[in-house]
Structure 1
Amino acid sequence: MQHPVTAPPIPERVRSLAAGAAPTHVSVAGSALPAAAVRGGVDAQGRPVLLVKPAELLYDLTDEIVVTVDLVATRAIDGVDRARGMLKVRGWAQPVPPEQIRDTAIAISERCPDEDLFAAIESRGPRLLRVDAAQVVYLTGQESGVLDAEDYFTAAPDPLLDAAERILHHVNSSHRPQLVHAMTALLGTPVPNAWIWELDRYGTTIRTAPDHLLRLPWPTPITSPDELEHALASLMCPNRH
């Protein structure tokens, strides 16, 4: 009997986390300077993009320099952002080429909007720096480890990531009573704090308590947003289909 794949491969999962993560701190290798707070996002290739303002660390960068960037992916639970994955990306920072600044700023603004991105496009103070990763340390609460650059960059985020995030947000914000009822019936005990924590083509992860995550795999991998929506609806309302 063939068992279902219960979770995405680690490289895919890390790329999915990175796609929705925001930079929080950057440090310079071999420097005694403390890590500095930083803003920005992650581009479509998985590279952290740092939005730095005058007088901030790395603002005067003209050549490559080795840095470590902390990325944090969060999930809003009852109105509070909770960390669901932390990444440390070590690699080479360099200015985004002038001809790529506009596209880069627009790309990261979709997940990490910031008014200073428009100023960077117009060269009015803030600059964009890009980090070409050499390795990525990941910590998700369930798994931890290190990916080298080849494994990280040859992987891709879940192809249903955008649809999954939209569906997840809709259920968590509008249909939690049904989710709580379904999880209570499934577990045979009240689960008043059930929230969808992860949703992907291989299954869903339910946060049933602050320190407990329940993974529920699909029978087979999902291949379209419609299938994903149907699978989640069947889980929440099993007698409806």
Structure 2
Amino acid sequence: MTTIPGPSPAAPRVLGDPAERARTVACRTAAALCVRGLAPGRPLAHATTAAGQVLVLVPAGGEVDEALAQEDDRSAVLMVSDRSPVPLRDSLRAQLWLSGWLTPVRAADQRAAALAFAEVRPAGELLGVGSEATLLRLDLAEVVLREGTRCAEVAPPAFAAARPDPLADVEAGMLHHLDRDHPEVLALLRSRIPAGDLGPRDVVRPLGIDRYGYRLRIERPTGSRDLRIPFPQPLTCPGQLPAATRRLLCAARAGLTRRD
């Protein structure tokens, strides 16, 4: 991903470490569960708790539940997909493979595990644990993050210790708002792209927002290119986003004035 210099003379850090990015992808809801000996399927829900434990909800009496009733644990892979909240020609931004051993949560631990699950993802299916749903834990052996053509391995302890990007919960709403209601903001962000990098048929779309800046995608007749418009400094909470955006837009307007 290309980075367009921001308004600060100091070069900011523009990308979280792989463990942080992996924890951010783990927050997404779209997932597939592949259990040894069974056909791939989709869980009812999944979550990575604040402590870094991966929990999975499956239907009670389903084939995963039945398989684990016969065998205490099975090797499994939970694949989580991160897609852009706004329509793009290729919406897939990243995929995360969480590999390890799947085990039912003991009855004595179910309440605490369900509360930890609900703290990060209040899924309605949690109300059915013990009757309509079975709560499982995935003890990690391997974590692999793929972003575009790049893959990174993350040590399970580093994954557990990391925290998701602080804008992860508000990103979708902010991107929809930007795409639907503020074309002038997108135009100003686009103005930060060097003119020589844009062709006459290229379309610039919002791709993402994280604590390091805005991510844009240039969709071309053949292929695409991703780039970042960085904030002067990484953000620490969603409340800092409006001020950081204003600084970016002021810099963009000043750049347009200089061009004129």
Q: TM-score, normalised by structure 1?
A: 0.80
Q: Displacement of 1:165 after TM fit? A: 4.5
Report the CA distance shift for 1:191/1:18 in structure 2 as closer, same or farther (over 3 A). Answer: farther
Q: Which has the larger radius of gyration?
A: 2
Structure 2, gaps ≥5 residues long: 1-8, 255-260
Work out whether 1:10 is the aligned partner of 2:18: yes
Q: Deviations over 1:190-217 (max 9, x none)?
A: 6874333221222221122263211122
| 1:100 aligns to 2:105 (yes or no) | no
Residue 221 in structure 1 maps to residue 230 in structure 2: no
SS of 1:76's equivalent in the other structure is coil
Match of 1:194, SS state, is strand
| 2:64 aligned residue | 58
Equivalenced residue count is 231
1:142-181 alignment to 2 at 5 Å?
A: 143-175=150-182, 177-181=183-187
Offset, 1:81: 8.8
Q: 1:221 to 1:229 in 2, by over 3 A?
A: same
Distance 1:81 1:124 in 2: 39
> Partner of 2:44 in structure 1?
39
Do structure 1's residue 206 and structure 2's residue 213 form an aligned pair? no
Match of 2:32 in 1: 24
Q: CA RMSD in A?
A: 3.0
**Contact 2:35–2:64 (CA under 8 A) maintained in structure 1:** no
Q: Please, which of 139, 148, 170 is the counterpart of residue 146 of structure 2? A: 139
Which range moved further: 87-96 or 71-80? Answer: 71-80
Shift of 1:104: 4.2
Q: Which residue type is aligned with residue 92 of structure 1? A: W
Q: Is the 8 A contact 1:180 1:193 kept in 2?
A: no
Asked if the contact 1:48–1:69 (Cα under 8 Å) also holds between the matched residues in 2, the reply is no
Q: Per-residue CA shift, 1:125-154, capped at 9, x if unaligned?
A: 221212121211111115312112122112
The corresponding residue for 1:75 is: 84
Q: CA deviation at 1:58?
A: 2.1
Shift in alpha-carbon separation, 1:215–1:208, aligned structure 2, 3 A: same
Displaced runs of 4 or more, over 6 A: none
Shift of 1:118: 2.4
Q: Is the 8 A contact 2:86 2:175 kept in 1?
A: no
Report SS of the residue matched to 1:117.
helix
Letter in 2 for 1:76: P
Aligned in 2, Cα 1:5/1:103: closer, same or farther, shift over 3 Å? same
Mapped partners of 2:95, 2:135: distance in 1: 22
TM-score (norm 2): 0.75
Distance verdict in 2 for CA 1:232–1:186, change over 3 Å: same
Identity %: 24
Would you say the 8 A contact 2:32–2:40 is kept in 1? no
3-state SS of 1:136 partner: strand
Distance 1:109 1:218, change over 3 A: closer
Deviation at 1:49, TM superposition (A): 2.6
For 1:57, give the aligned amino acid.
E
CA contact (8 A) 1:201 1:221 kept: yes
Q: What SS does the corresponding residue of 1:93 show, helix, strand or coil?
A: strand
Farther off after superposition, 193-202 or 138-147: 193-202
